[in-house]
Amino acid sequence: MNNLFSQLNKTELQIYDKIQAKQAISIDDGIYLAKNSSLAFCAFLANSIRERLYAKKAFLNVNTHIEISNRCVNKCKFCSFYRKKGDPDCWDLEIDDVLRFLESKSEENLTEVHLTGGLHTEKTSQFYCDLFTEIKKQFPQIHIKAFTAVEIEYFAKSDGLTTEEAISKLKTHGLNSLAGGGAEILDDKIRRKICPEKTNSETWLKVHKIAHQTGLSSNCTMLYGHIESVEDRIYHMAKLRELQEETNGFNCFIQLKYKTYGNRLNIHTEINLPEELKTYAIARIFLHNIPHIKAYWPMTGIENAALAMSYGADDMDGTISDSTKIYSMAGSIEQKPQISKAEMEELISLHGFVPVERDSLYYEVH
Ligand code: V47
């Protein structure tokens, strides 16, 4: 470490002091780290925070993902998942399909179902209320984490409800928290280029704010490694940090590295592993008020996700049960994302961390 310190300049020493004093770093500090500092220094800072918060714990969840349908009225350029009705690889699950699927997983002791889909013209919020009612009847112990802010806003518009009314209706029927997707980069100039039909930045933030005020927590994401700059990433995180200051409703931050296969964005290179690891570290450093940094392995691969635990991340999401296709369709090496709890624990231990099963709100499961 002495060697590392001798190489630091004045700005880096000031950032180090802020972290020691548990202060937030500034936007300029974040940009400085991302553009000028070494991976080793960022990892060192991120780990000092991670260890202060969780010592050697690395969290995992026993969960499954359900993507009800890949039909979507939007055509986001980075998305490899959406299909039109009638396309050969378009799917559309019904309530019974979901219940049968969950029944087939009953021996896994799932504590969470993560449920999302596209913007579907026929599946209204009432469909999901009925689905949640049935899930809660048969599997009352399962936490339902569902929908991106984009889906919530779509339900509200289609059903003629306010955002508050749409969230309350879903919550009354069993919705326990919101997923973090749809944030992409919270900059409307970028959104107009990569996802022109999608809800704008202000609306995405507004939906999460209302959810938090209604008593639902949520996650937040960042889709990076496409047309955005390093500065855009930090400004994005700053918006999340600002909302968190107000509501304290985000449980975790998830960086989603843009995957190039099967979409229309026309970018053919992915960011490399060192940059990915540095982004975890900067997220941990910059998002001082967001408790958890998740390394989502169906996107980055199980080995990289485990490695991210040494770069500031503390959570590996869950066992998944081979039920998400967003990333396999976008070219992830994880074509069948499924891992047992025991395998996940072993991998975490191999990296020198202590595996801890958590529920969706990060309470430890014993
Ligand atoms: O919003 C879509 C991203 C998100 C691509 O809340 C892509 O715990 C990379 O949000 N390359 C959906 N990313 C997934 C999501 C998520 C995943 C895991 C856990 C949680 C959570 C949330 O996936 C979309 C978009 O940002 N995405 N296509 C792509 N080609």
User: Does ligand 1 come within 6 angstroms of the Cβ of 224?
Assistant: no
Nearest Cα residue to 29 out of 19, 44, 39, 20: 19
Q: What is the mean pLDDT of the chain?
A: 95
Structure tokens at 6: 């001798």
The pLDDT value given to residue 100 = 96
User: pLDDT confidence of 22, banded at 50, 70, 90?
Assistant: very high
User: Does ligand 1 come within 6 angstroms of the Cβ of 323?
Assistant: no
Domain 57-357 grouped into CATH 2.30.30.110? no
- Tens digits of residue pLDDT in 93-133: 999 999 999 999 998 999 999 999 999 999 989 999 999 99
Instruction: Give me the residue spans of the domains in the chain.
Output: 57-357
Question: What is the per-residue DSSP string for 96-157?
Answer: HHHHHHHHHTGGG---EEEEE----SS--HHHHHHHHHHHHHH-TT-EEEE--HHHHHHHHH
- Ligand 1 atom 30, closest CA: 259
User: Does ligand 1 come within 6 angstroms of the Cβ of 179?
Assistant: yes
pLDDT score of 44 more than 70: yes
What is the C-alpha separation between 187 and 180, in angstroms, rounded? 16
Report the percentage of the chain scoring pLDDT > 70.
Answer: 99
- Least confident range from 131-140, 168-177, 326-335: namely 326-335
User: pLDDT confidence of 1, banded at 50, 70, 90?
Assistant: low
pLDDT score of 3 more than 80: no
* Ligand 1 centroid distance, CA of 216 (Å): 20
* Beta bridge partners of residue 71, listed in sequence order: 83
pLDDT score of 323 more than 80: no
What is the C-alpha separation between 65 and 67, in angstroms, rounded? 7
User: Does ligand 1 come within 6 angstroms of the Cβ of 79?
Assistant: yes
Query: Whose structure tokens read 């009800």?
Result: 68
pLDDT score of 361 more than 80: yes
Whether the Cβ atoms of residue 42 and residue 282 lie closer than 8 Å to each other: yes
The pLDDT value given to residue 2 = 63
The pLDDT value given to residue 129 = 96
> DSSP alpha helices (H): ranges in the chain?
2-6, 10-20, 27-36, 39-54, 95-104, 125-138, 149-159, 163-172, 188-194, 201-213, 230-247, 273-286, 297-300, 302-308, 341-350
pLDDT score of 135 more than 70: yes
Query: pTM higher than 0.75 for the full model?
Result: yes
* Ligand 1 centroid distance, CA of 13 (Å): 35
* Ligand 1 centroid distance, CA of 357 (Å): 23
Question: What is the per-residue DSSP string for 153-200?
Answer: HHHHHHHT--HHHHHHHHHHTT--EE--TT-S-S-HHHHHHH-TTS--
For the segment 256-274, the average pLDDT, to the nearest whole number, is 93
pLDDT score of 29 more than 80: yes
Closest ligand 1 atom number to CA of residue 331: 30
Closest ligand 1 atom number to CA of residue 148: 10
pLDDT score of 355 more than 90: yes
174: CB partners within 8 A, 6+ apart? 129, 132, 133, 135, 136, 144
